[in-house]
Amino acid sequence: MGKVAAVYNVIPESPEVSVEQIMADIPQKVPQGVEVATMNVKPFAFGLKIIEVTGIMEDQDGLIGKFEESLRSVPQVQGVNAVTITLV
């Protein structure tokens, strides 16, 4: 098995939410076996910023789903959208 890179957009609840706090919380929530490789803040719409998060993990059943659910469990996150999932 190889490694997988999963890229997600993490959307805060509102423009007033601290993206820095969300970025600090993300590494605490990811499951064992997932390395948070990058986190980039990008403008989205109406002053809202999103965080593009890349996780690197082994290609195991269910690990991508656990990673996505962990991102959804971060406080003050409204939504999580998959951008790309690929073998690396």
Domain containing 34 equals: 3-87
Q: Which helix (H) or strand (E) holds 29?
A: helix 19-29
Sign of the C-alpha dihedral computed for residues 40, 22, 2 and 66 taken in this order: negative
CA 47, CA 56: separation in Å to the nearest integer? Answer: 29
pLDDT at 45: 87
- Domain with residue 43: its CATH number is 3.30.70.60
Q: Tell me the sheet residues that pair with 6.
A: 55, 85
Mean confidence (pLDDT) of the chain: 96
Give 61's contacts (C-beta < 8 A, 6+ positions apart): none
- pTM above 0.85? yes
Q: Answer yes or no: is pLDDT of 1 > 90.
A: no
Provide the domain count of the chain. Answer: 1
